[in-house]
Structure 1
């Protein structure tokens, strides 16, 4: 039976190339747009956009927004919105900065560098982010206050609460262990990056093979073998190419010399060392995997998409939509805390403007990634790709020398056009928007 299913699929000669690969045309279009965007900026900047250094910086700059965008997918799928994510990130950052630089050293006598400072600071940000997110969900789910109003209030409240906590000051320096999660201060190095790339490639190939085997076991149609191999080769090539690019970015001589001096050693002449894969990117990858599993393999994910598709039917079927709303907003708050760790560590300080306009970038990333504002539709990988497109657009314009106001004009226009194209695409497929 498995062989007949395979043969039937393979003999459908009338299928086009993309049909046989069974690719999501919308996702393929996004990838194509991203590639064209990168090539265009690389041409305009005379090859500077796709250098290892810029790819490294672009990657670590995308992480915090991309992590929050994965949570925003669930919020929008539930037919809600969260305008407070940037302000909540700022509050979590303020709390973590005060914990590690002020409260723990003065109240508990833990000096900077104590091994417990970084874990306690991170825990405080995650806990407060989750609690505030849960309060938002409680107000929306149990008191029927529109999410727009609740989170708009949060947008106005939480950043200013953080301002009062820090007395409007920039808090620095931060604990060195904490800074490891920001990007440049915490990477795997060349060797471990190659190992991570090989493991990711093996996992990708195994996932493709396991999915094919599951379809055959249940007599579902499968792609031709050549199509599976093609997708696998492209995926593995992209992973290893990304690792090779990051490994090609060498640590500056001055920083490398300080690293050797800290170990009581002298930097050898001609010695170079690549950065490799940032730990913050590993956190993003782990977050994406977990959120994808939640969305596709768990009861919580099924309830979220069922409620977004038809809230009345979901409630009549026995789903506690009020408690579900609290869970979704609490998860969004947790991800804001996680993003605050990465954003603060990357900047190596807490500044009052941290996370400014992140709420718009996060929503734009989710929507550009294919999350329908009408609810019920959205993907985690689409949101991450949307965040990468947004950051690439802004970084490319900055390298070209475009003024900041015009950058925002372009980003706003791209968002509107992306939603318009998405509406047309869904209408042609007969999907209700």
Structure 2
């Protein structure tokens, strides 16, 4: 008779927290990043309260602006996760962003109005499509050189950093292109670039429905394939936390109201009489934030529920084994860099719309912040490990540090020291995590 006794420590001897993590299957890295983000927010808020007499960080206005500022880096970080998982790097994303922004600016300001007429409703649509296409083509070209030309990704993208920044200067002759199409500018946020209170509650309701749907779907899939089920209380806990986070975010964005001057002009234009107590109009979710959420959802589905995503992790985990298994690693590399370029073009839409102009310097040093966001979010430079939500949290951490240091008066030099130190610390912690997990 075979002995089936488990030699490991029984679950009953584990601590309460360990049993909780096992039941809910929460990622310890995710909890660590959320904890670090909470400490950063509380720390900057308390520092402001002690020094200035009031805390300016944990306010609806600052957190709303923080979410908008995170969007551009977060969108590109979603693509950088794929690049780093496959043991590559892309140093050109900031320059691709600037080049795509210039191309979109030229198209919508100098070219399309001459053919379609000023203010034509298709101008912004065609400009966005052009920017996304250019970004995808540039990324695919980089991927082709890396995969089929056997040139290291570091060299190709370092060259791309210089080439596309110079190309942006040549296209616009060094000029700032502004103003962009009014509808296009709404994609960058601001009072007119948000969905308002009603639209935000609709988004919140859809978000809660998605959380509940994912939990139910996941449980059915476990039953279908005879996988172990989470306890009912753990499923209920995840549903409550997920829906609570969505509702809290919705309340937060609806608590940030339009400035008085904008409300006054809006009321005059619409013939609205402002009540004695004032007229309060909520911003709601900013359009760049909704774009980031859409990218995160799509990329998470791609990485977790498609063959493409499994191939990405397989290539990063063991490139030789992936080749022997029949995966076309070279074509996958082209596709991954094309996705990275496409997302850089999408970030260019958000960044130039927010600035209401396209400049040659747009996206300068963004490549460093994007890489840092992915690494801080748990993407391993050794390949094979990384998540989309981790990269977005990493982008939030980076932007929170910058915003907090600006609020408390740190100069640019100190900001660079802190950001660089955090990046090195994140890589060191990743090394320790991988060493202890073996």
Question: What TM-score results when the alignment is normalised by the length of structure 2?
Answer: 0.93
Partner in structure 2 of residue 136 of structure 1: 142
Partner in structure 1 of residue 24 of structure 2: 21
How far apart are the structure 1 equivalents of 2:300 and 2:327?
A: 21
Question: How far did 1:257 drift?
Answer: 2.5
How far apart are the structure 2 equivalents of 1:272 and 1:13?
A: 55
Q: CA RMSD in A?
A: 1.5
State the Cα deviation string for residues 109-128 of structure 1 (Å, max 9, x = none): 521x2111101111110111
How far apart are the structure 2 equivalents of 1:102 and 1:218?
A: 57
Partner in structure 2 of residue 248 of structure 1: 255
> 288, 293, 304: which one pairs with 2:301?
293
Partner in structure 1 of residue 163 of structure 2: 157
Partner in structure 1 of residue 385 of structure 2: 377
Partner in structure 2 of residue 31 of structure 1: 34
Partner in structure 2 of residue 206 of structure 1: 213
In 2 relative to 1, CA 222–14 (structure 1 residues): closer, same or farther, beyond 3 Å? farther
Partner in structure 1 of residue 336 of structure 2: 328
State the Cα deviation string for residues 189-213 of structure 1 (Å, max 9, x = none): 0011012112101210221122123
Question: How far did 1:45 drift?
Answer: 1.8
In 1, are the aligned partners of 2:304 and 2:310 still within 8 Å (CA)? Answer: yes
How far apart are the structure 1 equivalents of 2:361 and 2:271?
A: 38
> 316, 322, 337: which one pairs with 1:314?
322
> 362, 369, 376: which one pairs with 1:361?
369
Question: How far did 1:216 drift?
Answer: 2.9
Gaps of 5+ in 1: 1-10
Question: How far did 1:220 drift?
Answer: 2.0
Q: Does 1:196 align with 2:199?
A: no
Partner in structure 2 of residue 8 of structure 1: none
Partner in structure 2 of residue 78 of structure 1: 86
In 2, are the aligned partners of 1:257 and 1:266 still within 8 Å (CA)? Answer: no
In 2 relative to 1, CA 182–192 (structure 1 residues): closer, same or farther, beyond 3 Å? same
Question: What TM-score results when the alignment is normalised by the length of structure 1?
Answer: 0.94
Question: How far did 1:262 drift?
Answer: 3.8
State the Cα deviation string for residues 14-72 of structure 1 (Å, max 9, x = none): 44332332211111111111111111111112221010000110000000100100000
How far apart are the structure 2 equivalents of 1:339 and 1:268?
A: 40
State the secondary structure of the residue aligned to 1:169.
coil
How far apart are the structure 1 equivalents of 2:383 and 2:421?
A: 22
How far apart are the structure 1 equivalents of 2:268 and 2:93?
A: 41
> 227, 239, 250: which one pairs with 1:232?
239
Partner in structure 2 of residue 45 of structure 1: 48
State the secondary structure of the residue aligned to 1:45.
helix
In 1, are the aligned partners of 2:99 and 2:360 still within 8 Å (CA)? Answer: no
In 2 relative to 1, CA 236–324 (structure 1 residues): closer, same or farther, beyond 3 Å? same
Gaps of 5+ in 2: 1-9, 50-54
How far apart are the structure 1 equivalents of 2:325 and 2:24?
A: 36
